[in-house]
Chain A
Amino acid sequence: MKKTIKSVMLIAAVAMFASCSSMTTPIAATSNPVGNKCGVASTTKILGIFGGSSNMGINKAAKLGGITQISHVDFVKKSFLGFLVQTYQTVVYGE
């Protein structure tokens, strides 16, 4: 019985650490037509503590993409190795 519990826990751990989930949510949309430029501002957090730049705002993403007219904005959250590594991205589309 103990061995079975251990094995089930092992499967759960492997599934959690091997999984990579991604969730995209809409943030904003304007009346501008959907342009062919795209800018991404992102930050990666390890254990929710360690991470790079925390500036992942719309302004940063638009600057990186050279966008002056924003059509819409998405927010993407990605998780790797379960909850250990998480990447947050602001994606700005426009012209």
Chain B
Amino acid sequence: MEKFLLFISVFVFFINADGQSLDNRYFSYVSNKGVVYFFYPQKLSKVEGIENFCYDLTYVANSDLATLNFTIETKNIVEIAELGICYANDTIKIEDYSMLFRDVVKNGYETRITSTIKKTNLLNIYGSSETMCFVLTLKDGRICKASYNRKRWKKDSSVFTKILNSIY
């Protein structure tokens, strides 16, 4: 009886743990332009030159481009000169970006940037075994970086690839 109950406990644990995996990653809804997929904000733990980095993605089905919004928290006011995403041995330069707003927060400044990225590039990035890394070159020449840690990348990249492949 004891062993049976223990088995049930372990079974319940794994059933629940598995069931919650994709619900927290994204949601979709229907807009006047088609089905919109919103990928929840992802906070990246490995940062250099900035305090915090968080990004989210919005993709409208049947379009080539996804909207990539991200928030950076810095001690000083920063002006971005160049923005790129590194993965494996490749770098995707993001040309089309603009600032949404800048707020004063407890530890400095919070800057929100909006940009676009091609779906094919997203598939290449998430399909890579090497972690993706956002590289921000500031106007004063400093380079700031934000990336996933390896363990989380392994898990997240496969989930994101699975979701992106399911979108037509």
Contact = CB atoms under 8 A, between A and B. Distances in A.
A40 B5 contact: no
A26 B164 CA distance: 27
A88 B121 CA distance: 32
A8 B14 CA distance: 17
Interface string A32-53: 0111111010100000000000
B165 interface: no
B16 A20 contact: yes
Interface residues of A, number: 26
A64 B69 CA distance: 8
B29 A34 contact: yes
A36 B20 CA distance: 26
A11 B32 contact: no
Interface in A1-27: 3-4, 7-8, 10-11, 14-15, 18-20, 22
A15 B16 contact: yes
Interface in A48-79: 63-66, 78
7 contacts: A4-B5, A14-B13, A15-B16, A18-B16, A20-B24, A36-B58, A93-B31
Given A15-B13, A42-B41, 5 more contacts: A10-B5, A11-B5, A33-B32, A36-B60, A64-B71
